[in-house]
């Protein structure tokens, strides 16, 4: 049984370095597994994205005993390389750049964050929770399918590694993983 207590909150300036370290660690893990996902990431650009998302208040972190356990970005941004007019872009909230620290893998933190994101999507009267995943990573596609997502389609964009589009109804909860104490909600209200 997992007795750790996890809390989710909005990212703050002091989280930039820990988030970068978590992304570095994740990219190294993917490389070890000989996966090309995120291998072309430019660290400087990545950091700029983290800072932009932080300022936009769309970046969140999960902490366990004040240590960074995971990060997720959640917003209305539907990447127009992938999502078309007929997808009704405004009908969803979109998950981006979700990563769990190796020390906190395997307890269902990803699932818990996706349920948290779904709650926000539903509260905002969105019909869907959506994301785009790495096109060629079958194991990652299976991960999302096992959590109740359906693949919408693969959108092959020559210069993008991502483009496997997934959606789950906003009112769906997978219901596993540790409870997340939602400090983000409190902070925003
Ligand atoms: C996806 C993620 C957030 C889920 O975290 P979690 O809820 O703790 O789940 P786990 O890490 O235990 O992963 C579940 C399974 O999916 C696999 N998996 C997760 N991400 C994967 C990836 N990018 N590529 C291949 N397999 C992956 C894990 O190896 C694990 O497989 P196993 O059950 O055979 O051991 C975390 O694994 C992660 O940070 N992955 C790398 C970054 C990533 O791909 N993020 C999603 C971007 S769309």
Residue 67 lies in a domain: yes
- Residues 124 and 43: their CA atoms lie apart, in Å, by 33
Tell the residue nearest (CA) to atom 6 of ligand 1: 110
Residue with CA at minimum distance from ligand 1 atom 40: 99
Count of domains for the chain:
1
Length reported for the chain = 189
The residue whose C-alpha atom lies closest to atom 7 belonging to ligand 1 is 110
* pLDDT the model gives residue 3: 61
- The domain in which residue 73 lies consists of 6-188
For 59, residues 6+ apart whose C-beta sits below 8 A from its C-beta are 10, 11, 15, 19, 50, 53, 71, 72, 73
The string of pLDDT tens digits covering residues 56-65 is: 999 999 999 8
Q: Would you say residue 80 lies in a domain?
A: yes
* CB of 110 shorter than 6 A to ligand 1: yes
Question: Is residue 72 one of the residues assigned to a domain?
Answer: yes
- Looking up tokens 């919408």 gives 152
d(CA 103, CA 98): 15
Beta bridge partners of 7: 63, 181
- In the reported structure, the alpha carbon of residue 1 is separated from the centroid of ligand 1 by a whole-number distance in angstroms of 20
Mind listing the pLDDT tens digit for each residue in 91-119? 999 999 999 999 999 999 999 999 999 99
Residue nearest to ligand 1 atom 38, measured at CA: 99
Measured between alpha carbons, how far is residue 55 from residues 52, 60, 186 in Å? Answer: 5, 11, 18
Examine residue 28 and state whether it is found in any structural domain, yes or no: yes
Looking up residue 144, the CATH number of its domain turns out to be 3.40.630.30
Ligand 1 site, residue 172, Cβ cutoff 6 A: no
Does residue 71 lie in a domain region? yes
On whether residue 1 sits in a domain, the answer given is no
**For the segment 118-149, what is each residue's pLDDT rounded down to a tens digit?**
999 999 999 999 999 999 999 999 999 999 99
Distance CA 103, CA 73 (A): 20
Residue 35 belongs to some domain of the structure: yes
| Matching residue, tokens 């004040």 | 66
CA of 86 to the centre of ligand 1 (A): 30
Q: Is residue 12 part of a domain?
A: yes
49 lines ligand 1 (CB under 6 A): no
């Amino acid at each position: 049984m997992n007795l750790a207590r996890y809390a989710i909150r909005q990212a703050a300036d002091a989280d930039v370095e820990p988030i970068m370290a978590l992304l570095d660690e994740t990219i190294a893990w993917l490389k070890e597994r000989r996966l090309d996902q995120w291998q072309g990431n430019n660290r400087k650009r990545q950091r700029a994205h983290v800072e932009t998302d932080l300022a936009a208040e769309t970046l969140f972190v999960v902490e366990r005993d004040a240590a960074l356990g995971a990060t997720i970005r959640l917003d209305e941004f539907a990447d127009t390389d992938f999502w078309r007019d007929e997808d009704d872009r405004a009908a969803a909230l979109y998950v981006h750049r979700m990563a769990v620290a190796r020390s906190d893998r395997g307890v269902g933190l990803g699932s818990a964050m996706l349920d948290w994101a779904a709650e926000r999507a539903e509260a905002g009267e969105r019909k869907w929770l959506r994301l785009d995943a790495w096109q060629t990573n079958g194991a990652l596609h299976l991960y999302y399918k096992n959590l109740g997502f359906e693949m919408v389609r693969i959108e092959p964009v020559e210069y993008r590694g991502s483009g496997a589009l997934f959606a789950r109804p906003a009112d769906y909860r997978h219901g596993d993983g540790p409870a997340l104490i939602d400090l983000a909600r409190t902070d925003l209200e």
